[in-house]
Chains A and B, each alone.
Chain A
């Protein structure tokens, strides 16, 4: 899917993880890149992520995970996103993501995987390249 005009992003904190410093930094970077970003806040269930993505008609569904539960969460999220007709949106994830999980996250449909150490502009540039 390509975005005509402003790129809309929903950035969610999945599960119970409370480390939101990185998520909020990425929100600010995406705002500076000109995106329309909706940050969900903490403790999002898979159902809430889907609802936020639908409500905002997001081009990009972004998750920030620091506490290790990314694979079980994304496994539950994938079919819900598909059922909601959001398979054509860009799914990305960042945070504390060990290298041995990257292939699994890509296989679940997360086209962009941004582990700790990724540059802020690399995330925005990736989104622009995919959507414009």
Chain B
């Protein structure tokens, strides 16, 4: 090939060189089809079920919640009436940080970015009239996850649902909160113990419930590449699995309920290859490293969604189109569940209007575009299969590198991963500002002085926050104080003794102890996380291999 006619070199975000054309020879050189298999069969690269969407389309589950439980209940019912098939609950920051609505630190934050929850009573209101057998619920909660899982189980039990059959998901991935997102409470060690407690408890009492959704998503939002996103998510999932296995629980008793949350913005082929590669790699890790024997233990079950990091404040209508491409990525990738950031989400809590556009985007793929008809439609493409192999090899390299450096828990505790991803985020921001990394409407196709079409801003109502505090005060006056005191003392004792904390937390929430009260007892024993602040990784070092 002569120099003058050679195509310009292209690398994807994961640092892999991309050719202008792929042939059977390239595929063979990358490892061929050894990891392909059939859908529903090990190593599940093509999908975890034989028929995938032909049997059941992906669950549609927009992230929703604001104000108080009654406001949120109304929006849930709007989405269900519009064909949504799952719920994904957003909590306000005080709830996520384990604070009650009347805590001084909660001032100005109650009900602002999600629903305020103080006690089981708020859960009873939020899910009132919703059939929990038909609509599965995902709780986006981490630092306070053990308490909110206990509330969800208590609420479902009270309404007569059989916990042995109850499905649903909690995010409950605290290690990624230390990397990005930031709703941690306790230090790293006790935080991992609590994740272990929830997995162990659910394996016994609510075996269909998914107590953890390991999030590559936020690691990617913090600046990770797609291969780092998935590789580090696997490292985190292994850390939780190790914690549970250490307690003597066999891998096949819990691994089938581990789930994942991944991001979908960026290059379409890179993302699809990421998901296909990840499915094969996770299956191999569970089978070969952990000795899992049940197929379900090897499944990479996931919500693929969001895409927030790819959306722009500039020309927000473009985000509707980006969202459609991101949904296409998730569908081509065989995600079990999908959610889309709304076009107005860079500005505000999404309006009903914006939520419905996102929902319709997903429904269009199923109803009009043929995405639910054939499994893994990109399978067999020279490009996609070659890239899948190369992405998997790169993920394996990152996992080995992480293990060799002491493991993900050590690297997160010391702030190394945080420093690395922020260096990469900085490099990316510079590349966007210089135009080296294209963003339409930001550094391309933008005219000076263009008027942004106004976005409808979600109103924040301070009177709702005051009502939440008043309701909390009434609750404290009405509940059985002795039962609360007994349950909270048990929480503290079990925190000290090392017993599984979930039975005590369940007793506490059933007595209407609050999120803040339970958290305080555990903080008294565990202390609080102290963030390692470091910026010693520089972007130059991070140029991908």
Chain A residues within 8 Å of B, Cβ to Cβ: 15-21, 24-25, 27-29, 31, 39-43, 45, 67-69, 71-73, 76, 96, 98, 100, 115-117, 119-121
| Chain A residue nearest to B457 in the complex (CB) | A98
Q: How far is the CA of A58 from the CA of B96 in the complex (A)?
A: 31
Report the tally of A-B residue pairs with Cβ distances under 8 A: 92
Assess whether A18 is in contact with B108, with CB atoms less than 8 Å apart.
Answer: no
Assess whether B182 is in contact with A18, with CB atoms less than 8 Å apart.
Answer: yes
Assess whether A67 is in contact with B112, with CB atoms less than 8 Å apart.
Answer: yes
Chain A CB within 8 A of B526 CB:
no
User: Which residues in A have their C-beta under 8 angstroms from that of B107?
Assistant: 72, 76
Chain A CB within 8 A of B374 CB:
no
Count residues on chain B whose CB falls below 8 Å from chain A CBs: 39
Assess whether A98 is in contact with B347, with CB atoms less than 8 Å apart.
Answer: yes
Assess whether B183 is in contact with A18, with CB atoms less than 8 Å apart.
Answer: yes
Chain A CB within 8 A of B437 CB:
no
* Among A28, A100, A115: residue with most chain B CB under 10 A: A28
User: Which residues in A have their C-beta under 8 angstroms from that of B348?
Assistant: 98
Assess whether B181 is in contact with A18, with CB atoms less than 8 Å apart.
Answer: yes
CB A51 to nearest CB in B, in angstroms, measures: 16
Assess whether A45 is in contact with B105, with CB atoms less than 8 Å apart.
Answer: yes
Assess whether B108 is in contact with A69, with CB atoms less than 8 Å apart.
Answer: yes
Q: How far is the CA of A69 from the CA of B111 in the complex (A)?
A: 11
Assess whether A21 is in contact with B457, with CB atoms less than 8 Å apart.
Answer: no
User: Which residues in A have their C-beta under 8 angstroms from that of B105?
Assistant: 15-16, 43, 45
Assess whether A21 is in contact with B113, with CB atoms less than 8 Å apart.
Answer: no
| Chain B residue nearest to A23 in the complex (CB) | B422
User: Which residues in B have their C-beta under 8 angstroms from that of A73?
Assistant: 108
Task: Determine the main DSSP class of A at the interface with B.
Answer: loop
CB A93 to nearest CB in B, in angstroms, measures: 15
Q: How far is the CA of A18 from the CA of B221 in the complex (A)?
A: 12
User: Which residues in B have their C-beta under 8 angstroms from that of A21?
Assistant: 180, 221-223, 422, 425
**Which residues from 492 to 545 on chain B have a C-beta closer than 8 Å to any C-beta of chain A?**
531, 533, 535, 539
| Chain A residue nearest to B532 in the complex (CB) | A41
Chain A CB within 8 A of B429 CB:
yes
CB contact under 8 A between A16 and B94, given known A41-B533, A67-B112, A116-B313: yes
User: Which residues in B have their C-beta under 8 angstroms from that of A119?
Assistant: 433
Q: How far is the CA of A69 from the CA of B422 in the complex (A)?
A: 24
| Chain B residue nearest to A29 in the complex (CB) | B426
Q: How far is the CA of A73 from the CA of B108 in the complex (A)?
A: 7
CB contact under 8 A between A67 and B113, given known A25-B422, A117-B313: yes
Assess whether A120 is in contact with B430, with CB atoms less than 8 Å apart.
Answer: yes
Chain A CB within 8 A of B249 CB:
no
Residue in B313, B422, B425, B460 whose CB lies within 8 Å of A68: B460
CB contact under 8 A between A15 and B93, given known A39-B533, A39-B535: yes
User: Which residues in B have their C-beta under 8 angstroms from that of A41?
Assistant: 531, 533
Q: How far is the CA of A41 from the CA of B460 in the complex (A)?
A: 26
User: Which residues in B have their C-beta under 8 angstroms from that of A115?
Assistant: 313
Chain A CB within 8 A of B253 CB:
no
User: Which residues in B have their C-beta under 8 angstroms from that of A29?
Assistant: 426, 429
